[in-house]
Chains A and B, each alone.
Chain A
């Protein structure tokens, strides 16, 4: 060992680098543990599966690759002075037991990264928690600390007191402006079969991300199987899904499609029963990806997304319909990525992307076209982005990059064959960033300073957003984290983010006259690993907002300009707790969040509707024991949550408001309503138990699984909101429960 240190000091060393991939399908493996046997030298692959071990004294070594769920791989290598050895390695999925894996990917990440508030998801986690009809990434994220939802069916993410429009959502580098569009927000845009892994930064995200105030959700689709042609067909109550992936010369492809068929089932029912009913709504999405690797160092990836909801209502009551109402909305995007290892120490990625979110409402009068109405809103982005990693040495990695984004935001309103309203904004955002990860004291103290500079074309403004992270491992299993950062946002929504139901988001650029919305994050974290499979984290945080542009009403504003927004500020503060344990037959986690969120307009602080004080989720899954017939080796998972009610206002009283006329004195009256403050009340406590049972099966030689879910097992009637019915005398307060009964669902998957 002293010899090794001496040689390192004399700088007569070599290096070894390469990619680590899954031997069964060619997927890159992030956070693989890699070390040289009988030395202190080692590293971990990064999130792209790339690794490099520096400063290896010349000689013969055995290099070991270890990753959760895969067989360890050992190779004998010879390292030469001032030379890099490129070694790309494939790991075979293993049948060995989870307990025997000494270092998990998550654990490796704990040692290697400085970032706080980071959660990584794999398809396993998405599919193993109870779901309403089918697995959903956003629904799974809602079980994490710091993430709250407004009601049982909501698919919006409110992260640490932020509104959904403060989340940056990326799919393979494509900005997704509204990820929760399907079935009134019940399902997200992300087809779960195509998701490779997803990362959520709940706060304190590093300098390579920007343009949002609260969080980053980065979803990466699977790479596509480069070994064999495989696929999966999934059947559920609401949708069916198909995934096909396979090799192409020097690469792989993946195609994933999903469509709902409520409309077809209702149509069939109507044909049989002739009941004159229809459900003119459906959604579909498509994700495609092609990888081409002309050499081990270069990879080109073309990825695309198309996700659309269609509501096409035509009068069906009469034989001769005379009007048609159509509504269509969705996300689309394409990205082309070139990933290259320029030198063993210099690694980069260049991305070009186009994305679009469109909302269109058409009203056609089939008898009189002059009465037609067309409302149209869309946002189109063109993005060019370069990200580079430079490995200065084993203790210093630098990332830097530049991103240019040109966006057009258009909204118009055509009525009676004339353009009544037509506006389009063009904006450019050019950002550059640099961040360094420095192990000041290796394996003990690391820091990650960074800065992001952003030029915003509206008002020709320049923002500098510094970020800083520090991690102190005061014991091998225990770390303290701290992160500070400034964040800016240039696009905001004009529809209220406090609405109980919101299918669309209407985005607008921050105006020349408006200050740029800004947030400051301060996060202190504590992370403890009790053993290799059990971790516990505590993260207190404080987030201060300035120049927030927020609509004060609940209405959805078609064609509303940015000026309709009010300027405010606010803060959110809280503490997130997370305990996670994974054993061979049992897995689960407990998450708890305490949070305080306030917004302020005109000098008065109030609690927005997503200010949930306490939020707890318990997820437990286990393999069904052998002694239970039929279900043995199946998986049963449960999810139970409990959360304090959300703030809300209420009409609390009424009185007669009299009219008066000088000609005849007092006239008639109307009822005037006295409303409480918007946050004067809180909804009752919410809680719910969900179950998920899944069992592998084989049909016609095909492997697969069936599943049954029951949502709201003990029929808790969680109140989502109140309304007052003024048609009654006296008025009645109606309580709306979104899950009035236990909801069962089932489905199956087949792989081929």
Chain B
């Protein structure tokens, strides 16, 4: 498994699975004994965002920093002052879940100066081969350029998060590897890891390097019995 530093930014296309991956990463690092803070920096999407899953994070002991108006009817691009505290955390790990595309990454640009001064920042670019508009390595690479321009930061690695939700098969994951490698190559970035639903871990671990099993936290309301 790749090394994770103490400041990780997760960016990518709308709906490619940033929030679900960020939550899995947060849970995993917490289980390794780290003190994790998650930042919901999504100012462009009112639905299916980290803040919606606050109870899950709370249960795991993960601190959540989210826009004040998240989950409300106010479509207001405002940051909470609390975000300022995450740039000076010395004894824990920060995961920033950025909004989709360049539009979502613009909010991250607000902190580009602070982040550039920090050491060991990892900015992971999530890709999903099965996502419309980023199905080819060329399209996926072009989108990262737009994101980087918007947030004025450079990605440090690619995460292959190719999936079809509950329908994902081992073949789907395997078939995405060429796409992921080619995208990373076009961007001159390392392919950091490949995610797969946990149920496929056994079947895929020998075949896929740096396999990162994920659970599904981001679910529609009818899958929650309450």
The yes or no verdict on A and B being binding partners is no
Residue ranges of A at the interface with B (Cβ–Cβ < 8 Å): none
